[in-house]
């Protein structure tokens, strides 16, 4: 049984979908952040998989490296927001963030 790059693409799409689903349906801010991490990882996987075709370059892997760094920054900021949010609402339920609505 052989698995080509297409299989990786299918896998990445699946993980991305799961991440997007979690981001939309979950109301816990931390879980939503984790879902974002899932999506970023799916993209990373795709980058690295396609890099496997062009073996004389490392563009995809370099980009994945950048994505990991950005994900780290995003996580740090997101968690800081989570803490600040928790200080206001005593909760991390994103349903409570409706001030702009009123």
Partner 1 sequence: MTGSAGSWLFLVAASLAVACALGTVLSRNTLRSAMFLLGHLGSLAMLYLTLHAELLAAIQLLVYAGAILVLFVFVIMLIGPSGGEPPPFRNAFPRTFAATFVATLGLAVLGLVGRTAMEVPSAPEGFGGVEAVGFALFRDAAVPFELIAVTLTVAALGVVGITRGKTAVEAAGEAKRPEAE
Partner 2 sequence: MHGTPLAIALLVAVLAPLAGAIVSGLFLRNAPKKAVSLVSVSAVFVSFVAAAIAYVGLDEGSLRFEGYRWFTIPLGGGQGVPIEFALSMDALSGMMAVMVAGIATLIHLFSVGYMAEEESYARYFAYLNLFTFAMQLLVLAANLPLLFVGWEGVGLCSYLLIGFWHQNLAYEAAARKAFIVNRVGDVAVLVGMFLVASLTGTLDFEALSQRAGVFDVPAFGVLGMTAATAVSLLFFWGATAKSAQIPLYVWLPDAMAGPTPVSALIHAATMVTSGVYLSARMSPIFVKSSAALTVILLVGAATALLAGLVALTQDRMKKVLAFSTVSQLGFMFAAVGVGAFSAAMFHVFTHAFFKALLFLGAGSVMHAVHAHGDAELDRLGGLRKALPVTSLTFLVGALSLAGVPLLAGFFSKEQILHALFGAAGNAQLAAGGVAVSIPSWAATTAIVFLALAALSTAFYSLKLYLRTFTGEPRHDAEPHEGGLEMKLPLVLLAVGAVLAGYLWLPAEGLERFAESLRAVVRDALPVEAHGGALPMIVGLGALAIGAGLAVALYKGKAEDPLPAKLGAFYRAAYQNFGVDALYDRLFVRPVAAISRFVRSFDFETIDGLFVGIPSGLATVGSKAVRQLQGSTVHSHALGMVVGLVLVFGYFGYPRLEVTIRHEGARTVLEVPPSFGYSYRVDFGGDGTYETGDFRADLTALAVPPSAAKKDRVVLLVHREPLDSEPVEVWLDEHPRELGERELGADFIPPGARGALPIMAWIEDGAVKLRTNLPGDEPEERELRPGQSHRIGAARLVATGVAFARVEVKNAFGHVTVQELEFPFRGRARTAVRGGSRRIP
Subset of 71-90 contacting partner 1 (CB under 8 A): 71-77, 79-84, 86-88
Instruction: Name, in order, each residue with C-beta under 8 angstroms of 32's C-beta and a sequence gap of 6 or more.
Output: 22, 23, 26, 94
C-beta of 50: minimal distance to partner 1 in Å?
9
Q: How many residues form the binding site for partner 2 (CB under 8 A)?
A: 15
C-beta of 46: minimal distance to partner 1 in Å?
11
Give which of partner 1, partner 2, none residue 81 binds (C-beta under 5 to 8 Å, depending on kind): partner 1
CB of 27 or CB of 58, closer to partner 2: 27
Exposed, middle or buried, 6 (CB in 10 Å: 0-12/13-18/19+)? exposed
Site membership for partner 2, residue 1 (CB under 8 A): no
Interface residue list for partner 2 (CB under 8 A): 6, 9, 20, 23-25, 27, 32, 50, 94-95, 97-98, 100-101
């Amino acid at each position: 049984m052989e698995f080509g790059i297409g299989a990786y693409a299918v896998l990445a799409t699946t993980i991305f979908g799961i991440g997007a689903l979690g981001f939309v349906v979950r109301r816990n801010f931390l879980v939503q952040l984790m879902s974002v991490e899932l999506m970023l990882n799916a993209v990373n996987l795709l980058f690295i998989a396609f890099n496997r075709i062009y073996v004389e370059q490392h563009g995809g892997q370099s980009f994945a490296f950048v994505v990991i760094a950005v994900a780290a920054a995003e996580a740090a900021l997101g968690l800081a927001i989570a803490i600040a949010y928790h200080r206001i609402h005593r909760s991390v339920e994103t349903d409570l963030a409706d001030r702009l609505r009123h």
